Amino acid sequence: MAEEAALALRRAHPTWGPRKVRAWLRSHRPAEAWPAASTLGQLFTREGLTARRGLRRRTPPRGRPLSGCAGPNDLWTVDFKGWFPTGDGARREPLTPRDAHSRHLPRRQALPRADAERTWAAVEAALREFGPPRAPRGDNGPPFASRGAGGLSRLGVWPLKAGAVPERAAPGRPERNGRHERLHLTLKRETASPPAGSLREQAGRFARFQRPYNEERPQEALGQEPPARHYAPSPRTWSGRLVEPEYPEGCLARRVRTNGEIKWGGGTLFAGEALIGEPVALVEAGEGGWRMFYAAVELGRVDHRAKLPLPRRGPWAPPGEPQGPVG
């Protein structure tokens, strides 16, 4: 019977609304006639399966869509759901990279600490399995970014060496990553309300969440289809090697010393502690000024007139900028 099937599915997935339930039933049992979503909503309420929500103030959407999100692996959003303790008092910080186009979760992992090394190990495993995206997008806080030159942290440097150019959401504008925040709400409701009694049990909940989320849960933005129908691994591959950026002849390259500085114009310039041991490039900007880059990320500008000669093969244009004439 249609009502019994809908109720069974709702009980199996308490966070699915009537539209998701109806979409799943129509997809898996297309020969049957299913009630309208409004009718299913009334059925769930009558059976005590609907929780009354508090009123929320609605605000108009602001900002532009996520850049470069035309297909799978163009952009991954990467964030931590806020930490919480399990029943045994241990702390867990769930890391959730997600493909922005398909909403597919390539990986989810609960880490004991949100530091650069542990975060990169989890991201690295996803890059090896699915291939690197064109760009990963994180927020402006650690471990994804810092207040240093170019906003780079050590974790921000490693994706550049893996062939992906990180993006960051605008400071103080969490609504620009609203889709990812909605994922965190779903993750919390389905796996951590309340948290499990131990780390092992909580890890099991996260593992059981991923497959249904990717392969079964209808997404309204995808025409009520699950993410797996819209996702494919990246055509780009990654060997696991972190490769230093190479700069054309039309720029000056300097390696960052152990104090975060480079030698320049008879003195020193601070490039950032995140770049210790890495090569940076300086490009003439006119009027005696220079622009400093690491890979495609601008670190800052040097306004005083430097006395070092610039090679005469023309200026180097970072990716995304027009190449100047060769002279």
Cβ atoms within 10 Å of 79's Cβ, excluding its own: 22
State residue 199's pLDDT score.
80
pLDDT-derived band at 313 (thresholds 50, 70, 90) equals very low
pLDDT-derived band at 174 (thresholds 50, 70, 90) equals low
Distance of CA 49 to the CA centre of its chain: 33
Q: Report the range of poorest mean pLDDT among 62-66, 67-71, 200-204, 250-254.
A: 62-66
Please name the residue that has the structure tokens 């922005």. Answer: 100
State residue 10's pLDDT score.
86
User: In CATH, what is the architecture of 75-230?
Assistant: 2-Layer Sandwich (3.30)
Distance of CA 99 to the CA centre of its chain: 8
Helix (H, G, I), strand (E, B) or coil at 146: coil
Q: Helix 154-161 and helix 116-130: axis angle, to 10°?
A: 20
Structure tokens at 128: 């090896």
pLDDT-derived band at 316 (thresholds 50, 70, 90) equals very low
Do residues 105 and 212 touch, judged by C-beta distance below 8 A?
Answer: no
Question: 16-25, pLDDT tens digit by residue?
Answer: 888 888 888 8
pLDDT-derived band at 96 (thresholds 50, 70, 90) equals confident
Nearest one of 128, 132, 159, 141 to 93, comparing CA atoms: 141
Helices marked H in the chain:
2-12, 18-28, 37-46, 116-130, 154-161, 178-191, 199-215
pLDDT at 58 over 70: no
User: What does the pLDDT average to over 209-238?
Assistant: 91
Structure tokens at 161: 């060496």
Question: 263-291, pLDDT tens digit by residue?
Answer: 987 888 889 899 999 999 998 887 768 88
Any idea where the domains of the chain sit in the sequence? 2-46, 75-230, 244-327
Pick from 66-75, 87-96, 210-219 the range whose average pLDDT is largest. Answer: 210-219
- Rounded mean pLDDT of the chain? 81
Distance of CA 240 to the CA centre of its chain: 19
Structure tokens at 218: 């209808």
User: What does the pLDDT average to over 298-304?
Assistant: 80
- Model-wide pTM > 0.75: no
